[in-house]
Amino acid sequence: MRQRQYGTQFVFTIMVAVPLAFTALAQSADELAQLIQQNIEDIQLQIRVAPTEAEENLERQKGQLDVLRSEAPDHPMLPSLEQRLGELDSEVAAARADQSGSAARDEQFVPLQAPAEARAQLRDVEVLQTRADREMMSGRPDEAEQYLSEAQGLIDAIEGEYGDQMPPGYAPLIVAKERLAALRDQLDRPRAD
């Protein structure tokens, strides 16, 4: 496992170092300075949407700036690029802090799908609701009420057991609750008349 980890680190180092070296060799100092300037503009936009990636790109640009500094220490754009990268450093740090704060306020783990058991139980709720609907159509409101009560109990059990494991606004659960409410209204309507 360690060999694999060291191998991955070596490959990553090669992937980062080699392009930087080739960039320095393949470009003049002016081209490199312009490239850094363009990347700074990209980072400015990226900070708002993806601060983590912006931080990684900023570190790359610092490496590019070091290359420029060593190749052309008197380059006229060097002071302004250094100043702008320093400002971006502060902006990225603020965005990351804001991201951490909002992550602490919000749930960090958002499930993408409900657990299989919850999905199976929601199918059972659908079956119970369909049976209740049929009983209402057949003029048997007491049997329909029994099926609706079972469906309500199952929905309550699903929410109690799997509520924190379901994605926010999980559509099948919302549909089941709305259908249950509609069936109850339909069942209560003839009794009120």
**pTM greater than 0.85 (yes/no):** no
Contact 72, 113 (CB under 8 A): no
CA distance 19 to 144: 71
Contact 71, 29 (CB under 8 A): yes
Structure tokens at 133: 């609907």
pLDDT digits (tens, 9 = 90+) for 95-140: 888 876 665 444 455 556 788 898 899 999 999 999 999 999 999 9
Instruction: Output 33 or 167, whichever has higher pLDDT.
Output: 33
The reported pLDDT for the residue numbered 112 is: 65
pLDDT at position 192 over 70: no
Phi, psi of 111 (to 5 degrees): -65, 145
Phi/psi class of residue 139: alpha, beta or left (left: φ > 0; alpha: ψ in -120 to 50)? left
pLDDT digits (tens, 9 = 90+) for 11-68: 444 444 444 444 444 468 899 989 898 888 888 878 877 788 888 888 998 999 899 9
The residue extents of the domains of the chain are 2-105, 116-192
